[in-house]
Amino acid sequence: MASAYLSMFLVALDRLIVSTAIPKITDEFRAVADVGWYASAYFMTTCAFQLMFGRLYTFFSIKITFLLSILVFEVGSAVCGAAPTSNALIIGRAIAGVGSAGIYAGAVITTVYCIPLERRMPYQAVVAAIFGITSVLGPLLGGGFTDSAATWRWCFYINLPIGAVAAAILAVYLQVPDRETARITLKEKLLRLDGPGCVMLLGGIISSLTALRWGGTKYAWSNGRIIALWVVAGLCLVAFVTIQIQFPNRATVPPHIFGQRSIAASSFSMFCTGATMMTTLYYLPIWFQAIKGVSAVQSGIRLLPTVVAQVVASFLGAAGVQMFGQYMPFMLVGNAIMCIGTGLLTMLDPDTMNAEWIGYQIPYGFGLGITLQVPLVASQTVLPLEDVPTGTSVLIFCQLLGGAIFVSVGQNLFTNELVRRIARISGVDALNLQQEGATRILEGLSDPTKRLVLVAYNASLRQAFLCGLILSCIGYLGAVRMEWKSIKNKERNVGQLSESANTHGREPKALSHGGRDV
């Protein structure tokens, strides 16, 4: 399991290590308008391929698929580190996103197949700890590399040696028991991958994200290109849903799983929570560096109230659910606290004191830590055992999709508001300001003009935080629709497994763990 954890460490670290480096990256490439793409390109491909990797792991060798995922991630990281232009960096992020999708799925599936259910919880706790640790390390390492002679490029190069070690351990030590799918012919495996569905999903995601990035900035919303992108996105997504319904036996997202009440509600909640998390964690470091004028390292340190509160809440929430058996009270309270925290973040301004921005982050991080964990617990409670991996993948997909879409939405809101406000300031060119890096916006300006630009920049960033507030409040609607179930009622879960198997015309399948059935 060490190789799976090390690989997960890579992906978890890559989520946030670039957040504190973005202002310096925009300085070097003079491309503030591309900020949203550095995140969106990564999450776009992660989302699009997340569900397909679930199918690949089902029908092909887990070890080989996992190793290929690490290889793709490493190639993407190398391209990012060596990127000569902003466009090259975006391409590298997209390649790395494909690999990260395979690593996400591989770590979960490796745990399911290699660890018996009764001993699985400590291993899942380690995964939560990895994400908590990297939430702290990511911004700090990103800031450290950015402010040192290593430069921001080592935010990506660091993945290469770590990935090589993980791949070596995986190749030597990972042993997965034989599965029924080993007897399926290659032709049958390929037919059951749901290739058409994955192509439609990829087309829909790319078209919609591109429309969000270009609309209102590069082109007017009424421009034919934007309208065409939305039409293509709609057609692709309708086609994807149709394929899932018409061919349930090879569906990437089986209708009987997504139609389950708690899964549907949890998916909506995770979409909104992922969107809130990414808009905040990407634009808060920019606020610290552009508005408060701190270094990349300092902006990473100033994120600690959020990430520490998130880690603490994750463990407290897990312990509370384990103790009382009910997850819904924690979900409702955690989501409410997150709404309060995101509301406080919209109050940030150039005169905000240290105690204030620290206090604003604590409830946000605490609520986020609980709200991210509970839907995953719910999926394991309400679904039959054989459907838990797919249900979990759907939730992760929704979380990542929300982040991918709303980082672009946040960028659009930020850029449009900045252009509108800067146009009111005489002697300042809005287009030139967009092309400058986030830490160079005040260079060459007189003191009175600096203050006006600072206020305009702050108000523009606040639009991204306001977007997060709206999403966290809307996500509460998903939280209240989840079913009140007890995780301690194991007998009911076993009954569900048999009932589901009979309903869908298949025998319940036991997972083999080292020669034993559980």
User: Secondary structure of 379-446 in the HEC alphabet?
Assistant: HHHHCCHHHHHHHHHHHHHHHHHHHHHHHHHHHHHHHHHHHHHHCCCCCCCHHHHHHCCCCCCCCCCC
238 and 298, same structural domain?
A: no
CATH number at residue 389: 1.20.1250.20
Q: Residue 516 domain-assigned?
A: no
Please report the pLDDT score of residue 492 as a whole number: 44
Domain boundaries, position 434: 253-506
CA-wise closest residue to 15 among 85, 96, 87: 96
Please report the pLDDT score of residue 472 as a whole number: 92
Q: Residue 515 domain-assigned?
A: no
Q: What's the mean pLDDT in 20-37? A: 75
242 and 152, same structural domain?
A: no
* Residue 413 pLDDT greater than 60, yes or no: yes
Residue 247 CB partners (closer than 8 Å, separation 6+): 194, 197
* Residue 202 pLDDT greater than 60, yes or no: yes
CB 464 within 8 A of CB 279: yes
230 and 136, same structural domain?
A: no
Q: Residue 514 domain-assigned?
A: no
Please report the pLDDT score of residue 236 as a whole number: 92
Give 157-182 pLDDT, tens digit per residue: 988 998 888 888 888 877 766 555 55
Give 91-140 pLDDT, tens digit per residue: 999 999 999 888 887 887 777 677 664 555 556 656 666 776 776 677 77
Rounded Cα distance, 359 and 354, in Å:
9
Residue 513 β-bridge partners: 516
Average pLDDT, the chain: 79
Q: Using 50, 70 and 90 to split pLDDT, how confident is the model at 384? A: confident
Q: Report how many domains make up the chain.
A: 3
405 and 457, same structural domain?
A: yes
266 and 399, same structural domain?
A: yes
Q: Residue 139 domain-assigned?
A: yes
133 and 229, same structural domain?
A: no
Q: How many CA atoms lie within 13 A of 213 on its CB side?
A: 21
* Residue 355 pLDDT greater than 80, yes or no: yes
Give 266-278 pLDDT, tens digit per residue: 999 999 998 998 8
* Residue 362 pLDDT greater than 90, yes or no: yes
269 and 224, same structural domain?
A: no
Lowest mean pLDDT among 85-99, 295-309, 357-371: 295-309
Please report the pLDDT score of residue 123 as a whole number: 65
Q: Residue 181 domain-assigned?
A: no
Give the CA angle between residues 302, 306, 312 to the nearest 5°. 130
500 and 400, same structural domain?
A: yes
Residue 204 CB partners (closer than 8 Å, separation 6+): 232, 233, 234, 236, 237, 240
Give 126-136 pLDDT, tens digit per residue: 666 677 677 66
Q: Using 50, 70 and 90 to split pLDDT, how confident is the model at 382? A: confident
Q: Residue 298 domain-assigned?
A: yes
Q: Using 50, 70 and 90 to split pLDDT, how confident is the model at 513? A: very low
Please report the pLDDT score of residue 497 as a whole number: 40
* Residue 484 pLDDT greater than 90, yes or no: no
The answer to whether the predicted template modeling score (pTM) of the entire model surpasses 0.75 is yes
234 and 95, same structural domain?
A: no
334 and 201, same structural domain?
A: no
Tell which wins on pLDDT, 4 or 290.
290
Please report the pLDDT score of residue 218 as a whole number: 75
257 and 233, same structural domain?
A: no
Q: What's the mean pLDDT in 489-494? A: 47
Q: Using 50, 70 and 90 to split pLDDT, how confident is the model at 516? A: very low
Lowest mean pLDDT among 95-109, 174-188, 427-441, 456-470: 427-441
Q: Residue 224 domain-assigned?
A: yes
221 and 265, same structural domain?
A: no
* Residue 145 pLDDT greater than 70, yes or no: yes
Residue 514 CB partners (closer than 8 Å, separation 6+): 114, 116, 177
3-state secondary structure of 223: coil
Residue type, 486: S
Rounded Cα distance, 37 and 87, in Å:
9
Q: Residue 511 domain-assigned?
A: no
Please report the pLDDT score of residue 434 as a whole number: 58
